[in-house]
Amino acid sequence: MRKTLQSLVKTAAFLPFTIGASVAQDFDSVEMKVHPVAGNVSYIEGMGGNIGLFAGADGVFLIDDQYAPLTEKIVAAVRTVSAEPIRFLVNTHMHPDHTGGNENFGKMGTMIFGHDNVRSQMGVADYKEAPPLVTFSDDMSFHINGETVHVFKTPNAHTNGDVFVRFAGSNVVHTGDVYRTTSYPYVDVANGGSFLGTIKAYDLLIEVSDAATKIVPGHGVISNVGEVRAFRDMMLVIRDRTAAAIRNGMTLEQAQGAGLTAEYDERWESGRPIGSSAKLLEAAYADMAQ
Ligand SMILES: [Zn+2]
């Protein structure tokens, strides 16, 4: 438990509340909700990133695992859908609200996969969470439960190790935090994320989706390609306005105060650093200002 609390303090930015004596109690009060998506694919909503859940005769396949103190509740939620062993788990990226359960699941015998950069960047950032044991450079496929699950790297977007997970038969894509329906995109520049790469990643998501595809975001609710297209188009507007601000000699601080995202703020401003307009413009400057 001490180790868990240390890692929580280290990663406080990813928690939606202030760290304090109430942490354990807050985890106690978290409820896991299983939302059916399509076919045998569901997602589990708890605290942290949405967990993808794909169950069948070959075993349970999970995407991300929230925080360590929630593992028991996550397993209980899985057991409402399947009694099969939890064999495979993919980390969509490095952040602790997606990798916090790795150590617990590893001890249970679950094989954990992630992009090479998830493992290496968790080391660079000195995270206490356990990194994936099996890593890959570009993509990999799982042939389980009657369908192909394709896990593939996106351009550097939210971090430098993001993947999309596409269930070909069920027509579902889990996007990790590259896409969220709760706020502006969060580009973690310190961990290799990129504003322009985020736009490219949306282009890729649109390319692999059709009108019927169910898109499970890292945070938020089930979405679709039309909503992703609108989100991408918003990013193009913000990109062009930021480029103009840079050309006109505006500093980042001036750009952040210039209302460049004004008409989108009511819908997408998170009101905290992650998912804010100010942070998004900072990432845009990091890519475009010389
Ligand atoms: Zn994240």
**Integer Cα distance of 98 and 106 in angstroms:** 14
Distances (CA, A) of 256 to 85, 180, 277: 49, 22, 8
**Integer Cα distance of 275 and 5 in angstroms:** 25
The predicted model gives 126-155 an average pLDDT of 97
Rounded distance from Cα 98 to ligand 1 centre (Å): 7
Residue 1 has pLDDT above 70, yes or no: no
Rounded distance from Cα 139 to ligand 1 centre (Å): 19
∠ CA(218), CA(224), CA(228), 5° rounding?
Answer: 75
Comparison of pLDDT for 5 and 269, the residue scoring more:
269
Rounded distance from Cα 209 to ligand 1 centre (Å): 22
Rounded distance from Cα 46 to ligand 1 centre (Å): 15
Amino acid 290: pLDDT: 72
Give the DSSP per-residue string, 141-154.
EEEETTEEEEEEEP
Rounded distance from Cα 66 to ligand 1 centre (Å): 10
Residue 12 has pLDDT above 50, yes or no: no
Rounded distance from Cα 188 to ligand 1 centre (Å): 8
Distance of CA 216 to the CA centre of its chain: 10
Rounded distance from Cα 158 to ligand 1 centre (Å): 7
Rounded distance from Cα 93 to ligand 1 centre (Å): 7
Rounded distance from Cα 56 to ligand 1 centre (Å): 28
C-beta separation of 59 from 86 below 8 A: yes
Rounded distance from Cα 248 to ligand 1 centre (Å): 33
What architecture is the 2-288 domain classified under in CATH?
Answer: 4-Layer Sandwich (3.60)
**Integer Cα distance of 188 and 47 in angstroms:** 20
Q: For 142, list phi and psi in degrees, rounded to 5.
A: -105, 135
Rounded distance from Cα 247 to ligand 1 centre (Å): 31
The predicted model gives 135-152 an average pLDDT of 98
Helix (H, G, I), strand (E, B) or coil at 285: helix
Rounded distance from Cα 115 to ligand 1 centre (Å): 14
pLDDT tens digit sequence for 177-232 = 999 999 999 999 999 999 999 999 999 999 999 999 999 999 999 999 999 999 99
pLDDT tens digit sequence for 52-103 = 999 999 999 999 999 999 999 999 999 999 999 999 999 999 999 999 999 9
Amino acid 86: pLDDT: 98
Rounded distance from Cα 261 to ligand 1 centre (Å): 22
The predicted model gives 133-146 an average pLDDT of 98
β-pairing verdict for 60-63 and 86-90: parallel
Residue 258 has pLDDT above 80, yes or no: yes
Give the DSSP per-residue string, 78-134.
HHTT--S-EEEEE-SSS-HHHHTTHHHHHHTT-EEEEEHHHHHHHHHTT--SPPPSE
Residue given tokens 């009511």 in the structure block: 266
Tokens representing 150 are 């394709």
Rounded distance from Cα 181 to ligand 1 centre (Å): 13
Amino acid 16: pLDDT: 47
Rounded distance from Cα 97 to ligand 1 centre (Å): 7
